[in-house]
Amino acid sequence: MSDRSAIEWTEATWNPTTGCDRVSAGCDNCYALALAKRLKAMGAAKYQNDGDPRTSGPGFDVTLHPDSLEVPYGWKAPRVVFVNSMSDLFHARVPLDFVRQVFKVMADTPQHTYQVLTKRARRLRQIAPKLDWPSNLWMGVSVESEAELPRIDDLRQVPAAVRFLSCEPLLGPLPGLGLEGIHWVIAGGESGPNHRMLDEAWVTQIRDTCQKADVAFFFKQWGGRTPKAGGRLLEGRTWDQMPLPVPA
């Protein structure tokens, strides 16, 4: 958990679970895996039971942190919270009962806005009817390339107040992108020493699709060796649209 976040579209992060593994091409240069390695070496308590990212292959062990469920109750001032920046709440190894506990915390703290992002769209759709969906929860899926477009159909079946797409790291064009039932789209390039290049035409196509559909569009970064290397300007301006008014 962090009380502050450098991610441009959120304000804080909260990790009631940690750990994940590869599910699609967007995972190949996972920042969470690299960060978990550093945190483990630094002795961070949450990462001592997550296996060794240097030897355990393309992932790190999913671990539940029940003690972290209390954290949002201590945040009095409203904030926008990205849930599980270091994991995936809808990973198969996160029990349904624990997902329900996370949802209850969100419902109990309506002063905050929670953003949940998953690549496990099928499980999201399957268990969505078994969850009580609070009005302060925004639910998103990652759509890094054309191959992941079917995740949007799963998301449309979820009764979240806000449904959003994270097209980051964007690895190719998204022809046929449909935004019916979607309220917000984030796009951005990859960062890190092995980053893959982002084509401006891929981004402008998404932006134009959003504008035609009256969907909020947020361009996070061009990427590069560092997240800020390429800046955030798209055709001379920043794009910071949000789907709804959020807490100050």
Q: Which pLDDT tens digit goes with each residue over 182-218?
A: 999 999 999 999 999 999 999 999 999 999 999 999 9
pTM for the model stands at 0.91
Residue 188, domain member (yes or no): yes
Q: What confidence score (pLDDT) does residue 244 get?
A: 79
Higher local confidence (pLDDT), 122 or 3:
122
pLDDT digits (tens, 9 = 90+) for 226-240: 999 999 999 999 999
Distance CA 89, CA 52 (A): 21
Residue 35, domain member (yes or no): no
Instruction: Give the pLDDT band (50/70/90) at residue 245.
Output: low
CB atoms inside a 10 Å sphere around CB 107: 15
Phi, psi of 217, rounded to the nearest 5 degrees:
-125, 135
Residue 106, domain member (yes or no): yes
Distance CA 216, CA 209 (A): 10
Residue 74, domain member (yes or no): yes
Residue 141, domain member (yes or no): yes
Peptide bond before 66: cis, by omega within 30 degrees of 0? Answer: no
Asked if the model's pLDDT at residue 1 lies above 50, the reply is no
Collapse the DSSP code of 129 into the 3-class scheme (helix H, G, I; strand E, B; otherwise coil) and give the result: helix
pLDDT digits (tens, 9 = 90+) for 33-51: 777 777 777 777 777 665 5
Residue 28, domain member (yes or no): no
Distance CA 67, CA 81 (A): 17
Q: What confidence score (pLDDT) does residue 38 get?
A: 72
Nearest to 26 by CA among 245, 207, 200, 191: 191
Distance CA 79, CA 20 (A): 26
Q: Which amino acid is at 81?
A: V
**Which CATH number goes with the domain that contains 154?**
3.20.20
Which domain does 109 fall in, by range? 12-16+64-219
* Host H or E run for residue 38: helix 31-41
Residue 54, domain member (yes or no): no
Q: What confidence score (pLDDT) does residue 3 get?
A: 60
What the block records as the tokens of 22 is: 């590869």
Residue that the structure tokens 């981004």 belong to: 203
Residue 22, domain member (yes or no): no
Beta bridge partners of 166: 142, 186
Q: What confidence score (pLDDT) does residue 234 get?
A: 98
Nearest to 222 by CA among 146, 168, 166, 147: 168
Buried b (16+ CB within 10 A) or exposed e, 185-195: bbbbbbbbeeb
**Averaged confidence pLDDT in the chain:** 91
Q: Which amino acid is at 136?
A: N
pLDDT digits (tens, 9 = 90+) for 61-89: 999 999 999 999 999 999 999 999 999 99
User: Using an 8 Å Cβ cutoff, are 219 and 232 in contact?
Assistant: yes
pLDDT digits (tens, 9 = 90+) for 115-141: 999 999 999 999 999 999 999 999 999
Domain count, the chain: 1
